[in-house]
Chain A
């Protein structure tokens, strides 16, 4: 049998009717699957897969997926750890030394910068700025290089999805230096793991503790010693507790009350980190003196005082909730299948989530093997987000990204600065959110510059005049014929006719700026 069997969870206990129904569905779906060895996909199916579970095809990708077949490609992508990374990418990521530090080191560096700025005045401030700029750029380079070059494309797509789900804004103080570490340590390792682990990792990471202020939340009347905001904190801050239920787990209509928000905030008091203590790499700490040791009533439960265990238990409850299961399933289906995802699919995903205690790989499996994804999704493209648009254009063009600066500028212009969503809901991925008149102009502008080879992304920043997003005059233009081969059925016959009837110098720009390429 095919590899997909591996990810079916072992039966733990007697299945309920719904789970058996899901299993039956698998069996019937299996009948439609191509033979496990030497399967094949139509060009349309291959293009659809590469558009949805990858950031679009690179040269040669279409033929490869056509050869391998739909299910083989999905099964491979569901186990990214089994896909080898190319040496070049591994070395490049390793060379981004700043971005590879531990959270503790990064916090220490940020504080050292602050001291420098205080001590050396303007000069120190400049140095600090430079330090942070370098770090932010290295983080961006790592994210963009992986998104463009990694063969573990589903993992990259999921990092984008889950980062937005658990969004942290890099513009807020300390988080400027922590977002990449947060992505690497709290998001990436869990995107195909259990939701509870992902939730726990984000909840404990200093980037989240800082962003949504929980690090400062204490029992009423707490008196700290010394200086700084941590010492001055005295009382509850409900910011994280609210978004934890509203955005991360139950969803806004999840049936909780204001009282539940406040009580959960009390349960999470003492979950903090000390930016002044750069000895420890784990950074998170539970401070029992800041914790509210009173009794609580939350979501109808009576909660006896148990210190940190109260918060950990709350995460258990939230992750296991059927309301969370539905919320997460809906969001995944919206991202991968349709802006308005079909109820029946969301229901099956929800059931799978509950039957596997939130195994995201199993939930993804149900979705990716569904008729709604594989067949119905073919005829209904999603409108790309700016990040998807930019990354897919670079992949299709076969451009190597060495200098991320021009891309960061483009993402700013298109309204999706990398790590730059200020609000905790993260960037949306629907057409309503991104399609507008100015977006069309800006995307076409970008397409034209990329197609002409004028975006200096493939040379190191230090070789670019001014280092910024300066458009150069002489780059190697993208070969339109090659581009059309790479994209195959993604570019419709109608668009091809327009492209072929136009000035050869404009053809690649027309392909990348076409309505077909704006969808995925």
Chain B
């Protein structure tokens, strides 16, 4: 069935590239399944990027220079500007690499899954400490586990410097820890007491695992935050230990003692304790339901049918969170293959699918990032730890539609000299190209106008 190939390439993949509908035609489901299993070498564009530890080292040096200059206000200000200017290229290179891979990939279902999980475990480059690290979370903690186990992905994400810094856990100190005891004994009356920060613990429970209705209490949040004290990274304050820019567990900052979370007692000491909590959260039935709902919302509909959610949740529970099994359950859900398409593309999806159809990526990193920014979805800046919304109502405002049309016009202007609009429509949408759109394109005054109409058409705006 030709429509299956269109759905495989556009709904599950990131949009059909030249020749892709033909390649997916004979066995659309098998074509997708193969993409979601087994390991892959790191794409060359990403292999060339500096690691989070290298970037953090640079960041620490820059920050130290600034701190040294603090007495001199002007110099400190200059250095702060310098800090941003020095970190921004890392961010832009990560963005450019991400979208070069996304546009060129012959396995774009796998790439979509990478993007999906990155958004599930969202950090935001809007926070200065995270600006240069956001892309490394995707490349170091998501990508290696996208065909692995959820538990391993969870463990890798929560221990990644970008997540720890984004949700403030590096300085969360157990009030009964050695560090706090020592410091608070010596502290003068007005000094700040060392203590916990609940942010990471709360978002792990609410967003990464159980979900907001997953049955945890404020007490669970506070206790989990205590279990996570010491869960940090090696900084340039060497007395705490750890290798600079890499995950480190600071025993001296950890709140000692057993903790009871969600009714389970964790008597372990040190890093074994938060690890045990994370392992239990990863296999919790509420986690299965929460993850299944988000996958169903992403691939089926903004309000997915409960039986589809349950099918995916069951695959999660039965396989103990084996992601290829979970992803296959999505493909096995009949509603995921329904047509016509109902998911309104996010700006990210619209831009990537357009560029894949045109087989075109700008050469300058800044130009790669620009359209996402213009359409309201600057890469790696979801504004909140919940990630970018995955429902149409967040993206389909009147003004947003006008911006999409304006962007379509500007892209069309750049490629019109070498492309035939109807060929493009056939290449990307195949049998899903509407008669009405086809007629409008045929009657267009120019190739540029025809391509604008294609990109603006309802069937191209959905997947």
* Genuine A/B complex: no
| Interface positions of A (Cβ within 8 A of B) | none
